[in-house]
């Protein structure tokens, strides 16, 4: 039974799955659109939305210590200064008046080799 599962395992160990999702988050932030499987896209959405929400909190805060803390939280997860900078300086201000739903998943095709459903995940 699959009750009370809060995430998809994606056929990987925990450290491998998290590394893959972090790398995919960085790729999505930089390119603003990537193609992957539907299952990975749905799992990736959680990470991207949380990162953008950190950026929104950063832009809404006036307390310098809180701003540093939020930026460090994002960097602790992504480990990529370029991606963190883009989230905080470009992407988050764009979604200042939007409460969640920063990504869109569009189903595209079926992969020829293994018939996996493919999708494009993009920033709205």
Query: CB count, 10 Å around CB of 2?
Result: 5
- Local structure of residue 110 (DSSP, 8 states): E
Query: What rounded mean pLDDT belongs to the chain?
Result: 97
| pLDDT at residue 4 greater than cutoff 90 | no
Indicate the pLDDT class of residue 95, thresholds 50, 70 and 90.
very high
CA distance 100 to 41: 16
The CATH code that applies to domain 14-123 is 3.90.1030.10
For the chain, list the strands marked E by DSSP.
Answer: 33-37, 103-110, 117-123
Is-above-0.95 flag for pTM? Answer: no
Give whole-number Cα distances, 22 to 40, 86, 108, 110, in Å. Answer: 12, 15, 23, 24
Q: What is the pLDDT of residues 26-85, one digit of tens each?
A: 999 999 999 999 999 999 999 999 999 999 999 999 999 999 999 999 999 999 999 999
CA distance 114 to 110: 8
| pLDDT at residue 2 greater than cutoff 80 | no
């Amino acid at each position: 039974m699959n009750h009370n599962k809060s995430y998809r395992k994606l056929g990987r160990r925990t450290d491998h799955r998290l590394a893959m999702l972090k790398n995919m988050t960085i790729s999505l932030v930089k390119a603003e659109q990537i193609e992957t499987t539907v299952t990975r896209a749905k799992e990736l959405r959680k990470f991207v939305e949380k990162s953008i929400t950190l950026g929104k909190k950063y832009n809404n805060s006036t307390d310098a210590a809180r701003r540093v803390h939020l930026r460090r939280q994002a960097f602790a997860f992504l480990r990529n200064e370029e991606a963190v900078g883009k989230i905080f300086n470009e992407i988050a201000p764009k979604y200042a008046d939007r409460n969640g739903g920063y990504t869109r998943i569009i189903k595209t095709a079926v992969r020829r080799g293994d018939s996996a459903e493919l999708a494009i995940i993009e920033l709205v």
